[in-house]
Structure 1
Amino acid sequence: MTLPRLSVLAFALATALSGAAHAAHAAPEAPAATHAKRAITHEDVWLMKRVGAPTVSPDGKWAVFSVTDPAYDSKEQWSDLWIKSLNDDSAPRRLTFSKGGEGAVNWSPDSRQLVFTAKRDGDDTSQIYRIDIAGGGEAQRLTTLTLGARTPRFSPDGKQLLFVSDVFPGAASEEDNKRIARERKDRKYNVRAYESFPPRFFDKWLDDKKVRLFVMDAAVGAGMPPPRDVLAGTKLAELPGFGGGQGDDGQSLDAVWSEDGKTIVFTASTNRDEAARAPGYTQIFALPAAGGEVQQLTQDKHRYKALKFSRDGKTLFALTEEEAPGKVYDVTRLASLAWPVTNPVPKILTASLDRSISRFALPDGANRIVFSYEHAGLEQLHSIKYDGSDLRAESSPATGAIGSFNAGGKAVVGVWESAINPPEVYSFTGTPGGQPKRLTSFNVERAAAIDWQAPEHFWFKASDGRMIHNMIIKPANFDPTKKYPLFSVIHGGAANMWRDQFVLRWNYHLLAKPGYVVLLTDYKGSTGYGEEFARAIQGDPLKGPAEELNEAVDEAVKKYSYIDGSKLAAGGASYGGHLANWLQATTTRYKAIVSHAGEMDLIMQWGTSDSIYGREVNSGGPVWENLPVWRDQSPVMQGGNHAKGTGFTTPILISVGELDYRVPANNALMNFATQQRLNVPSKLLVFPEENHWILKGENSRYFYNEVHGWLAKYLK
């Protein structure tokens, strides 16, 4: 990165922050010079700075966050940590200068040091680094483990670190891990062997490594004792179903220190080996930090995550999902346990709130829990007292979505964005009138140059009696006196929601750019509208949601005179791809269909996906019970319906990542084979290096161009 580029960035930051106003504005401030606005480009979407979740210092004076400076060539992409004072309007400054990027930031209790994970020169896996914020200097490596280290956490006295790593089966020490790694590298054969499900996750084949919790001294220097595996030899760790949540970097164990530093509290599963035939239960456990046997604190069939202690150490908070038998979706609620735990039954603090809590924080002095949840395209802040009373809304921007936030001292700091405001860091406390305040300006100038409008929201009552929320996106140079084709874009999930936010993979405004109105509908099965709404697709995975999508199109055509009802298209990815395939099979109203990572056969998807039990629950039982839904709602089985005036006739663009193990490529191959067999205009795009999503810059540019070309061919 060149000095001139840094100078320009620093000037822009200083200029924008010198008079920072509160964030309730729905659009960023315009630059001083007035220029004609232009339509969005793929470069705008791809090259916007990607601002990560901030971590606030315990004293509430600083926020540290990552900023990715993207590039089409991944070798040219940078990601670094930045720091911003919360006491003044000084510009953020860069803390690190490395291409690899840093993650899992954690502050020392005295707010003077940071630890984070990174893969730097000489690292084969991510290791833990420490940097002295108060004294300055370069980051120092703390670990050199064969299998790496994840999610470090300072102990309350700042003298120790708790983190997650892995061990090979049978390994009792780091020397064992080194030896086994060397043996595996040198062996002559190459094979993957499995005795439990799943063997794959998204784009990775899983391995036999075992997740563990480690404790080490936080000091740097020769002669320090090696990290201790505090789960080694425990009965819990020896259970065949023991494990943590699966992520891109391996399994995770959500672990925290008790406030006195004597106990480690964590969540873990004991039935991971039953994933093919039962829901996974994640319970809360505790063990002495000095070593000893594990105690199970909760004794139910729930999932727990996001553990946090109150500042006085007397209450443990968590998010929990009930895992109700035979249900496909459970609302995420806030729960608390008195500490030390004497009653294994947590108190549900948001039992009366029919919404899933996304995240929460515990600012000092308020005795209130600040949290967010999705609703009708937005995500805003709310709070509740520690005892579960006095639920209220907190000051939030009127539009968009708060995608992350964190508390330190009395400060609550997070990332806010909207469809026309790419992500920036905001303070949600401590400003006049309590209004949010924008702290960064990484994307403000570029966003202000784009001709785009905020989404327009509307509701309608579907034939099944449900109120359905929608957003309309208009193209650049919009003229309400003209007629525009409509592109109904379908979200994945189905447990998901269209949000008023800046989207990378299916950017609303980039899709609309050629002159389309984009319709975003939250069909039944979506989140943000309560538990029953999300569960409503059980036994009706495609037909019912598709009917609501069609009714939404009818409503939009009726409501907005600028929509040309004779020129309709539909498309989506993942569950949205499933529904796109169903629409192609069951109606001829659309002139073109776009399907990415969409299933064609429910039975094949059950047997080849990396998750299967939930699909059984949704369909009413296993595939061999010959339940009607397995056949009646598989798109491929509708191919012969031409006598009914439906069946596959609409031109379809099919795309898939070859490394997608969530909706494996055989679905796309079956889809293309079906279209070609029936002589339907169709095109198949296979991305050899992509997984469930298209994440590489040039592949993304190509994908958007193909979508635009396909729609233009059949809509214009």
Structure 2
Amino acid sequence: MISRLLLSAAMVAGACAAPAIAQPKQVLTHESLWMMKRVGAPVASPDGKWVVYSLSEPSYEKDGAVSDLWIVPTDGSAAPRRLTATKAGEGDPAWASDSRRIAFSAKREGDDVAQIYVLDLAGGEARRVTSIPTGAGKPIWRPDGQAILFESAVYPGAMDAAANKKAAEERKARKYNMRVYEHFPIRYWNDWLDDKRPSLWLQPLAEGAPARDILSATKLAQADGFGGNAQSDGGMTLAPVWSPDGKEIIFTATTERWNAAHARVNFGLYRMPADGGEPVLVTPTPGEYGDMKFTPDGKSLIFKYNSQGEEVYDLARLQRVAWPAGGAAMPLTGAFDREVDGYAVTPDSRTLYLTVPDAGMENLYRVAVSGGTPELVIAPKVGGYAGIDIPSDTKSTQIIASYGSSVNPAEIVRIDPAAKRHKNLTNVNTALAATIDWASPDHFWFTTDKGRRIHNMIVTPPAFDPAKKYPLMVLMHGGPASSNMDQIGLRWNYHLLASAGYVVLMTDYTGSTGYGEAFSRAIKLDPLRGPANEINQAVDEAGKRYAFIDTANACIGGASYGGHLANWMEATTTRYKCIVSHAGEVDLLTQWGTSDFNYGREVASGGPPWGDSPVWRDQSPITYGKDWKTPMLLTAGERDFRVPLANTLETWSTLQRMQVPSRLLIFPDAWHWITKPEDSRQFYREVQGWLAHYLKGAPEVKGGPLAAPGISAKQD
């Protein structure tokens, strides 16, 4: 087994990395992880000659990070080159049909809000094409290349740019500061929601032509409860696409937004004339729609559809509607029991290539546009593919994607499905990755005492010696509808946790995704006890299978739902020497009443809190506060509205009431995740200090913030 662990990392380095001078292997540090450049998703030109992507260059210094657009030929004949070089980062790059011009959104010097810019590869600087007071984002070229569709959040009753400017000025002039709400929801992730609504604007590219709001005047947009899909920045998107002839716009929207407190919010898939007019439904079935794409021949509209049933989880499945007829949608993937992460259509409009998460990996599949059972094309030995794109105007199929793993930062690749391999188009971090002493995770399965098969991964520390015994860090993923992927992450990075000399164990408990719809749904009415029991069994199994793991010397931790589980472990077991909980709920009632959404929690717990379901109390960790004994490190972001601070304060109060050794870290600038570089570095410093005391006998962690190694607390 050990040789396989080391061999898998060597195979990936040989297959994906550019030749590099041999260097001594280095232990992964926060600095080496954080400062890795980050390669964005590829966007291929229609003619198949180019790929544009964003490249982020991080920094610990305030305003020191840089993000620009880069371009590389799809045949790998030349090295990537930078397209932009400004302080402002560019977002949402989109190619014109001529494969010569690129549109993107950016807030550049002189802009109060983001605007749309167009860059001509023939030469010259990017040209700003919009001047909208409410900002412009997500540009989409009309098929003829003479206009751009974009989204903007507008004020109620404002039908044009002048009215929106006036509304903004009036609000700025108010002498008071107050938010007013009459409906749920009121918050999302880390933002308070306001009364602005998403709209669609058309910007002709003729000199001096003004942008026009084509949606706000419609009855649909003025309906109570109108909105789009929520985004992590607090905004909403209608996710529009152009019809192949450029005469219509297709988008997804809801008029049920105000139902969020008591029901699922369903969406419709709409079409409307590009020059204005009332939207009508493309297909009659309500649900949740996303990732719309037309086949290059213009005969089919493909999209992801989720039925929004009364379950805790529904697979989003691919469907197809005939175009321009519309009507009933046809499922494309039949009984395929996996969720499609991304997909792209071949130029002949006959085949879809799919990226599909499966047991920690992300595999490549294909299926006919007419429908059928997806066929596995490539199952990488480690990591997987994401961000798949296929140029639409080429004679043969070119598959462009990102490839990465937990020991290979994502790079842009071109996939050869016949040879079942890929070729790197970028090598931004491959040389650096080859210098780090890390190995791909080892995978194992076991069957629980209830007969359910559970997938697990372990990560070993640097300078790993199988003859030694290592302390164990059990890491529990959030969600619960997510999974432990063989990919690099900044938050709770597997190898950074292991770098101090620990084996890290990760378990995809019941409720995780990548194992079929029934597996994800089985967490209903058992939100904590069942998954926690499976994690505890996984620890026992790991101890039996791997002689180098010391399960008697173990700590456990997690964030978000992983933090919920951490609190549950505090309440129900004393097998762990310490616990780390970030953004964890302690009382299902507190979480229901203060979080940014609540109805889904009722579905998971068997009804509203005032009903007869015992889950609300039976599976709240605070119910068992008298049993709390394990030393616990609590961390939370003050701006977190998904798991609000009240949960962490309740956990803290209980620990203090029971006189359990505990430490509370509040990050005032953080939200659900700790994203600022210095905050992140300090978070890892504190976690490693906590683990070192309880697993290695290091000095007790107490007092002010832990100092960096070699620096006194006063100096730090």
User: TM-score, structure 1 length as denominator?
Assistant: 0.93
- Kept in 2, the 8 Å contact 1:675–1:682? The answer is yes
* TM-aligned CA deviation for residue 28 of structure 1: 4.6
* TM-aligned CA deviation for residue 89 of structure 1: 2.6
For residue 298 of structure 1, give the secondary structure of its aligned residue in structure 2: strand
Residue in structure 2 matched with residue 202 of structure 1 by the alignment: 189
Equivalent positions of 1:632-711 (< 5 A) are: 632-640=618-626, 647-711=627-691
- 1:110 maps to which of 98, 101, 107: 98
Residues 1:457 and 2:437 aligned together: no
Deviations 1:239-278 (A, max 9, x none): 1121101111611011111111111111111211111111
- Kept in 2, the 8 Å contact 1:24–1:396? The answer is no
Q: d(CA) in 2 for partners of 1:228 and 1:598?
A: 45
Q: d(CA) in 2 for partners of 1:418 and 1:196?
A: 43
- Kept in 2, the 8 Å contact 1:279–1:613? The answer is yes
* TM-aligned CA deviation for residue 26 of structure 1: 6.7
User: TM-score, structure 2 length as denominator?
Assistant: 0.93
Gaps of 5+ in 2: 1-10, 697-716
- 1:499 maps to which of 485, 497, 510: 485
- 1:175 maps to which of 154, 159, 162: 162
Equivalent positions of 1:372-391 (< 5 A) are: 372-389=355-372, 391=374
* TM-aligned CA deviation for residue 167 of structure 1: 1.4
Residues 1:230 and 2:218 aligned together: no
Q: d(CA) in 2 for partners of 1:275 and 1:370?
A: 34
Residue in structure 2 matched with residue 482 of structure 1 by the alignment: 468
1:686 maps to a residue whose letter is: I
Residues 1:94 and 2:79 aligned together: no
Q: Which range is displaced more, 398-407 or 628-637?
A: 398-407
Deviations 1:198-233 (A, max 9, x none): 1111111111111111112134xxx52311111132
- 1:241 maps to which of 221, 225, 240: 225
Q: d(CA) in 2 for partners of 1:32 and 1:358?
A: 33
- Kept in 2, the 8 Å contact 1:588–1:650? The answer is yes
1:43 maps to a residue whose letter is: E
Q: Structure 1 pair 124/558, CA: closer, same or farther in 2 (3 Å)?
A: same
Residues 1:213 and 2:205 aligned together: no
Residue in structure 1 matched with residue 7 of structure 2 by the alignment: none
Deviations 1:649-705 (A, max 9, x none): 000000000000000011111111100100000000000000000001111111001
Deviations 1:606-656 (A, max 9, x none): 00000100000000100111421000100111112xxxxxx2100000000
Q: d(CA) in 1 for partners of 2:257 and 2:105?
A: 27
Q: d(CA) in 1 for partners of 2:492 and 2:400?
A: 27
- Kept in 1, the 8 Å contact 2:581–2:635? The answer is yes
For residue 606 of structure 1, give the secondary structure of its aligned residue in structure 2: helix
- 2:318 maps to which of 311, 334, 339: 334
CA RMSD of aligned residues (A): 1.5
Q: Which range is displaced more, 672-681 or 622-631?
A: 622-631
- Kept in 2, the 8 Å contact 1:31–1:448? The answer is no
Residues 1:583 and 2:569 aligned together: yes
- 1:359 maps to which of 342, 362, 368: 342
* TM-aligned CA deviation for residue 342 of structure 1: 4.4
Residue in structure 1 matched with residue 295 of structure 2 by the alignment: 310
Q: d(CA) in 2 for partners of 1:631 and 1:206?
A: 31
Residue in structure 1 matched with residue 150 of structure 2 by the alignment: 163
Residue in structure 2 matched with residue 370 of structure 1 by the alignment: 353
- Kept in 2, the 8 Å contact 1:397–1:436? The answer is no
1:141 maps to a residue whose letter is: R
* TM-aligned CA deviation for residue 296 of structure 1: 1.1
- Kept in 1, the 8 Å contact 2:38–2:410? The answer is yes
- Kept in 1, the 8 Å contact 2:456–2:506? The answer is yes
Gaps of 5+ in 1: 1-22, 641-646
1:206 maps to a residue whose letter is: L
* TM-aligned CA deviation for residue 434 of structure 1: 5.0
* TM-aligned CA deviation for residue 368 of structure 1: 0.3
- 1:284 maps to which of 269, 272, 278: 269
Deviations 1:486-523 (A, max 9, x none): 11100000000100001111110110111110001000
Deviations 1:5-58 (A, max 9, x none): xxxxxxxxxxxxxxxxxx976765475432221211111110111110010000
Q: d(CA) in 2 for partners of 1:501 and 1:512?
A: 15
Equivalent positions of 1:517-596 (< 5 A) are: 517-596=503-582
Q: d(CA) in 1 for partners of 2:598 and 2:352?
A: 36
For residue 301 of structure 1, give the secondary structure of its aligned residue in structure 2: strand
* TM-aligned CA deviation for residue 456 of structure 1: 0.2
Q: d(CA) in 2 for partners of 1:271 and 1:53?
A: 32
Q: d(CA) in 1 for partners of 2:225 and 2:51?
A: 38
Consecutive aligned runs of 4 or more in structure 1 exceeding 6 Å deviation = none
Q: Structure 1 pair 172/565, CA: closer, same or farther in 2 (3 Å)?
A: closer
Q: d(CA) in 2 for partners of 1:694 and 1:187?
A: 33
Residues 1:152 and 2:139 aligned together: yes
1:428 maps to a residue whose letter is: I
- Kept in 2, the 8 Å contact 1:395–1:436? The answer is no
- 1:424 maps to which of 405, 411, 418: 411
Q: Structure 1 pair 25/39, CA: closer, same or farther in 2 (3 Å)?
A: closer
Deviations 1:53-80 (A, max 9, x none): 0100001110000000000124110000
Residue in structure 2 matched with residue 7 of structure 1 by the alignment: none
Q: d(CA) in 2 for partners of 1:165 and 1:171?
A: 12
* TM-aligned CA deviation for residue 407 of structure 1: 1.6
- Kept in 1, the 8 Å contact 2:28–2:499? The answer is yes
Q: d(CA) in 2 for partners of 1:54 and 1:457?
A: 29
Q: d(CA) in 1 for partners of 2:588 and 2:692?
A: 31
Percent identity between matched residues is: 50
* TM-aligned CA deviation for residue 482 of structure 1: 0.5
- Kept in 1, the 8 Å contact 2:340–2:356? The answer is yes
Residues 1:78 and 2:66 aligned together: yes
Deviations 1:162-184 (A, max 9, x none): 11112111212211111111111
Residue in structure 2 matched with residue 599 of structure 1 by the alignment: 585
For residue 270 of structure 1, give the secondary structure of its aligned residue in structure 2: coil
- Kept in 2, the 8 Å contact 1:395–1:428? The answer is no
Deviations 1:518-559 (A, max 9, x none): 001000000000011001110000000000000000100111
- 1:54 maps to which of 34, 42, 45: 42
Q: d(CA) in 2 for partners of 1:631 and 1:347?
A: 43
Residues 1:192 and 2:179 aligned together: yes
Q: Which range is displaced more, 555-564 or 406-415?
A: 406-415
Q: d(CA) in 2 for partners of 1:319 and 1:174?
A: 33
